């Protein structure tokens, strides 16, 4: 049985959850970032935040399968309009940077996202730098 199709908003949430879960350590700062993002960004204006837990369950289920990451990217690409690929990457970078530490597993997933969405290197670098700047501490 395959999971139900995702909406574009679900796909953005799935990417954020995937980055947080990629190192098998979902940190509070990352969950707060995801919730805050869903509650404040215009792309989520009419999104039911209660769906986050359902999307999370789909991501966790896929991560437990052998080709789960490929399946996740397939679902996300099917749901997400191409003009939101950079948005998805920006949200992924924000979640990765939220706790001040980006483990290797998260870096690898960010690299996979860049590849899967065929993002321009310069655009990706700018997005990454913006995330880093937004999450610096004193």
Higher-confidence position of 87 and 22: 87
Question: Which CATH number applies to 8-134?
Answer: 1.10.3680.10
Q: Give residue-wise pLDDT tens across range 65-98.
A: 989 999 999 999 999 999 999 999 999 999 999 8
What the block records as the tokens of 31 is 């969950």
| Dihedral of alpha carbons 43, 48, 50, 56, sign | negative
CA dihedral for 123, 98, 72, 48, sign (positive or negative): negative
Task: Indicate the pTM of the whole model.
Answer: 0.92
Domains in the chain: boundaries = 8-134
H-state helical runs in the chain: 8-21, 28-40, 51-63, 68-79, 85-97, 104-116, 121-134
For 114-133, what is the mean pLDDT? 94
């Amino acid at each position: 049985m395959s999971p139900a199709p995702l909406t574009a908003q679900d796909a953005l949430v799935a990417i954020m959850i995937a980055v947080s879960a990629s190192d098998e350590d979902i940190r509070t700062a990352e969950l707060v970032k995801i919730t805050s993002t869903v509650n404040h960004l215009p792309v989520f204006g009419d999104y039911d935040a209660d769906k986050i837990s359902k999307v999370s369950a789909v991501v966790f289920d896929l991560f437990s399968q052998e080709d789960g990451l490929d399946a996740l990217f397939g679902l996300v690409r099917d749901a997400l309009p191409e003009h939101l690929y950079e948005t998805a990457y920006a949200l992924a970078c924000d979640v990765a940077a939220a706790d001040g530490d980006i483990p290797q597993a998260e870096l690898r997933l960010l690299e996979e996202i860049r590849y899967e969405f065929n993002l321009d290197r310069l655009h990706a670098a700018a997005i990454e730098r913006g995330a880093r700047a937004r999450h610096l501490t004193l």
